[in-house]
Amino acid sequence: MDNLTHSLVGALIGQAGLKRKTGLGMPALIFGANLPDLDAGCVVYGLENLAMRRGLTHGPIAWVVLPLLLAAFIWWFDRWQARRGTRPDDRLPVRFGWLYVLSFIGCLSHPALDWLNSYGIRLLEPFSSRWFYGDALFIVDVWIWVVAIATLTISQRREKQGRAKWNRPALVGLVAILAYINANLIITATAEAAAPQRDAIAVPVPLAFWERDLIVDTDGPIYTGYALQRWSLAGGTQPPQMLVDQPACLHPLQLTQFAPNNRELAAFLFWSRAPYIERQERDGQVIDVLRDARFTGSAGSRFQVPVPVPAEAENCLQE
């Protein structure tokens, strides 16, 4: 999920009452909720970063080590302020044990949310590189923003006014978000059950949480590709859209045989869930690119890599 969502969820957990367990409890939750995205620095490697993201910093070892490092830094920061005489007088005593617990809760919320979209997450890294997908939420969910911001704001206002049970709106917000997530998991399961293919992928779409893009594999003896079909809980489906309309004589996974040293290609195939080859025209030249059926819109242009198509497949493409 996006970092605003991670931050809002961490803040809601704190505003629900846990921030009162120790001084600087809220920063521990918010920073902890974003800490696994340390691997975002891998974007400097271009498309190769697809094989580096949502792995080691999102796995079991990171769940233990990252909160410990964060708690140690926050504890040191409080002591540093005290020595300089700049520590706020109204700050609660900082307890390292609670700092670690809150950092751990915040950090754990991150992979839990990331699992919910179709991008994928390697929850067991470094013990296993298997990708996991919840297919329940679009990577940026505005409805979660609305609920989280509204309930967080109300709760903070009540707290400033000194009202009893000031944390109740934040609790309501967390319950509402959990209910929304569970509803979307059911919607995805319903969409997959309605698909014409048993192993179809139901991809969440922006804003319209009641709709899914169904990705159906159309592999046959000649064709390699996917069909995309919009499904709605309200009823009705749009006609399937072929993502590839050119015959191919090889599966995308075979491309590494023809370019064994192409790191971008290897990284893309490691990350990809529904790879297909698309023929494009650029600057008057026709090239073949590898894409993923989960990302077919304008945003999907970031997730594609030129591929070497061997002569025997080129002959097939021209038939």
168 token code pair: 């109740």
Listed range (51-60, 175-184, 224-233, 262-271) with the worst mean pLDDT: 224-233
pLDDT over 70 at 218, yes or no: no
Question: CB count, 10 Å around CB of 310?
Answer: 15
Residue ranges per structural domain of the chain: 3-186, 196-242, 252-318
Between 10 and 273, the more confident residue is 10
CA 118 and chain centroid, separation: 7
Residues 259-266, mean pLDDT to the nearest whole number: 84
Between 229 and 68, the more confident residue is 68
Q: CA 259 to CA 313: how far, in whole Å?
A: 14
This prediction's pTM: 0.89
Q: CA 148 to CA 169: how far, in whole Å?
A: 10
Read off the pLDDT of residues 152-202 as tens digits, 9 standing for 90 and up: 999 999 999 999 999 999 999 999 999 999 999 999 999 988 887 777 889
- H helices of 195-271, in order, are 263-271
Q: Beta strand pairing status for 211-217 and 226-232?
A: antiparallel
First CA to last CA across the chain, in angstroms? 43
pLDDT band of residue 247 (cuts 50, 70, 90) is very low
pLDDT band of residue 73 (cuts 50, 70, 90) is very high
